[in-house]
Structure 1
Amino acid sequence: MRARRRQKVVDSLSFDQIGERFPAMNHPSSTSVGFEDDCPLFHDLSREEREQLASISRLKTLSPQQYLCRQNAPSDWVFNIASGTGLIERLSSTGRRQVLAFIFPGDFAGLNNSSQFEYGIKALTDMSAYEFPREKLYTLSEDLPHLKANMRSIGALVQALTFDQLYLLGQKKAHERLCFFCIHMLERMPGATPEGINLAMSRQDIADFLGMTVETVSRSMAKLKQDGIVATPAPQTIRILDLEQMQDLADIH
């Protein structure tokens, strides 16, 4: 049991070695994104530039509920999610939790200017991620204009998602927040379709993301089911029956 839950770290690999040892990463359609164009960090980078990135990276694998990084730990690493699902959370001094985001293959996390992580990143499923030493990545970006531009774009995207969440928490009713969550998962979760969104997160995770209690999430889901907007064919599966109505409630088009 201990061996299964132990974190594993793979030493730095070349781009070719990554393709050989992790064949799924050669295919953009795979859930393991690796050094493919699916990840915003690698857009417009040449093979040689990706080789430079690969030379400073290492792959870490985690079991469910293990942490990729913990809040207040030194922020020495930047992460690209290669496979699996996780969440980013922040804890208050009293122990209350806010889930800031759910993360999926291709997502990037850890870009900040603080000496400590202001949040924790936790795996919800078996998850793997490439780690890049923060200072080496920033230094490399000074020599690679496309990499620097990509890092700025990622920062802008994070800001936009943050604004969306602030608007959600400040303006939306409970069932509207849940509609926003469903659309958000439909757009971001690999393999999600209106016929089936298979959730890796618990209702507590969803509640902490939407600023609600678990009971309110359950009542809101019951309302959406009663209104014919969703069905739940399995405990962790949501089927969207009326996508247009859900988009109207979520204010997303």
Structure 2
Amino acid sequence: MPVLNGLLGKFCVLAACCSAILAAPLAESSVEYGTDYDKSQLSTRASGTRNDPKDAFFNIAGWENIAEEDCFAMLCLMGGNRVYQRVSTANGGDPHRTESGANLTPFQSNQLATRHTSQITPQTISAEEFPFASTQQGGVGAILFPATLAEQNQQKNAISAAYRRTGGPGYNEWFKITFNGAPLGKFCRALHADPQDFSVCGNSVQSTLFGIAGVILADFAYQLVNTQGRPFFFHHAAGSRKGTRGLELNTTVPLLTGDDS
């Protein structure tokens, strides 16, 4: 009997300890579900409207030079605007390439004299268009720059990836451009700065582009001039030659104005 009483006593002590442990509140619960939880910390996804654009991140690895051209256009010619609207259909950008003059291949060697354009290097035979043809702002009034086919192909893949990314802009939605994935050049750093740095937009600012030092990018920004005759030609959209034909500095023509909405 003394042995039995001893066992019962130990059992009671153990039961009391277990009850105390089970009754104690879990510290984890107070952290995860406590009244101090701030619901305002939950982020809301952008709606994709003009006043609430989605963030669109474009990996510029492999097309850093074209990215600099685009940043120059946004910063120096479009007032630092980084918000644009995607076209409404998969083929919605096709007419823009005609309207901007990109389909005229103005930087091909056999077109330079006719179109009044220039190359940065003999390899910059492709036309970079900004705003992108895949935006509602592309087309009439877009700025064209000479670029390489290799970088254009890399850019095409990057733009498609940015649109397909979860949370990326769908058709007709507005988005804010952010370039990442590689070191930013002079104009892209100035564009992404807060506040933006417009001091780099001078007519004589030099850069290294496509392996060439001392490039004045403003001299390679072109815009299509719609004339009644043929062939269409281009004039300088920026720099000290703004408003003149590329090969005729004494000929001034009115600048086109695109839809900035």
TM-score range, shorter chain: under 0.3
TM-score of the superposition, structure 2-length normalised?
0.24
Which structure is richer in relative contact order (CA contacts within 8 A, separation 6 or more)? 2
- Relative to the length of structure 1, the TM-score reads 0.25
Q: Which is higher, the Rg of structure 1 or of structure 2?
A: 2
Bigger proportion of residues as helix:
1
